[in-house]
Amino acid sequence: MTRTVYVNGEYLPETEAKVSIFDRAFLMADGVYEVTSVLGGKLIDFDGHLARLERSLTELDMPKPKAFDELLDIHRKLVELNGIDEGMVYLQVTRGAPGDRDFAFPDPETCEATLVLFTQNKPGLAENPVAKTGIKVISIEDIRWGRRDIKTVQLLYPSMGKMMAKKAGCDDAWLVEDGFVTEGTSNNAYIVKDGTIITRNLGTDILHGITRAAVLRFAREAQMKVEERPFTIAEAQGADEAFYTSASAFVMPVVEIDGESIGTGKPGDVATRLREIYLEESRKAGV
Ligand code: PDD
């Protein structure tokens, strides 16, 4: 089925949607993005994603797209037009297409931001069978840039990390800087020890996950203990549980790190419970 996508004010069949070869995201990776999940046809954590998008734009001094205030309507319309029950909406804003290649930012008065959105249909996203068995990760050096709190489209190294994991017979990679885990290639990383959930504190070295914020809030509401601090791979390998969070995977148990089984080698109780709570509460709050 041909998707209907959104490009700069128009809803078009995906085969007719176009952006310029001079677009700054194509030439300079000068773009930011958001991924919002859809459950039961409703957008999950939409306000959080919108707030983070605004922050990414501000941090990069990138102009807001003209349709910024209509983003909820655009998301909803795409979900409806494409009949999405479970899946994702991908949104990208770029600094626009100034008509030539230049390192200097174009004048925002004459060069409008590019805005693109499309849906990804993922039936069975919530009931993903992988969450019942858990996934395996490898660790790799975190050599990304220093502003990982901005959600930019510079995803080459995370893609390479995913491929390194696949080559090693694993599902994902956890990134390590100065001996401590920062996050996963496209998710935030956690361990559980003696009932305490441990995840790296916010800063410029990780993305401030919207799912992370919600999951930590639910954990605290359920009287679980949370410590926001860095941890090492050795500490993770000695933990009772490990898991990650993201908008597209929710809460995903991790059962092996660098060939070492975590806890029982099966998804742990904390991760399983948090996944249930997150899915239940998010469905209720979807817009
Ligand atoms: N990735 N850390 C990184 C590096 C990420 O790319 C992501 C999200 C997260 C989790 O953030 P959130 O909970 O807001 O999704 C953490 C998205 C899903 C992606 O690139 O597809």
211: left (phi over 0), alpha (psi -120 to 50) or beta: alpha
What's the gap between Cα 193 and its chain centre? 25
- Give the C-alpha separation, 49 to 63, whole Å: 17
Residues in the chain, total = 287
Indicate which atom in ligand 1 lies nearest the CA of residue 48.
14
b/e code 97-122 from CB counts within 10 Å (16+ = b): bbeeeeeebbeeeebbbbbbbbbbeb
Provide mean pLDDT across the span 172-185. 98
Confidence of residue 140 (pLDDT cuts 50, 70, 90): very high
Token digits of residue 169 = 């017979």
Q: Is 130 in contact with 275 (CB distance < 8 Å)? A: no
Provide mean pLDDT across the span 255-279. 98
Indicate which atom in ligand 1 lies nearest the CA of residue 33.
20
Provide mean pLDDT across the span 41-54. 98
Q: Is 184 in contact with 248 (CB distance < 8 Å)? A: no
Position 258 scores a pLDDT of 98
The answer, yes or no, to whether residue 215 has pLDDT greater than 90, is yes
Which residue from 200, 181, 196, 173 is spatially nearest to 254, judged by alpha carbons?
A: 173
Q: Whose CA is nearest to atom 20 of ligand 1?
A: 186
Close Cβ partners of 271 (under 8 Å, ≥ 6 residues apart): 190, 192, 241, 242, 243, 251, 252, 253
pLDDT tens by residue, 216-246? 999 999 999 999 999 999 999 999 999 999 9
Position 146 scores a pLDDT of 97
Provide mean pLDDT across the span 10-24. 98
Q: How far is the CA of 27 from the centre of ligand 1 (A)?
A: 23
Task: Mark whether 151 is an active-site residue.
Answer: yes
Q: Is 137 in contact with 257 (CB distance < 8 Å)? A: yes
The helix/strand/coil state of 225 is: strand
pLDDT averaged over every residue in the chain: 98
Confidence of residue 155 (pLDDT cuts 50, 70, 90): very high
pTM score over 0.75: yes
Site residues for ligand 1, CB cut-off 6 Å: 35, 183, 186-188, 207, 209-212, 245-248
Catalytically annotated residue among 64, 136, 151, 193: 151
In angstroms, what CA-CA distances link 221 with 200, 216, 250, 268?
A: 19, 9, 18, 19
Position 1 scores a pLDDT of 77
Indicate which atom in ligand 1 lies nearest the CA of residue 90.
21
Q: Whose CA is nearest to atom 1 of ligand 1?
A: 186
Q: How far is the CA of 183 from the centre of ligand 1 (A)?
A: 10
- Reported as type and span, the H/E element at residue 72 is helix 71-81
Q: How far is the CA of 212 from the centre of ligand 1 (A)?
A: 9
- Give the C-alpha separation, 230 to 265, whole Å: 23
In the chain, pLDDT over 90 holds for what percent of residues? Answer: 100
Q: How far is the CA of 147 from the centre of ligand 1 (A)?
A: 14
- Give the C-alpha separation, 251 to 21, whole Å: 37
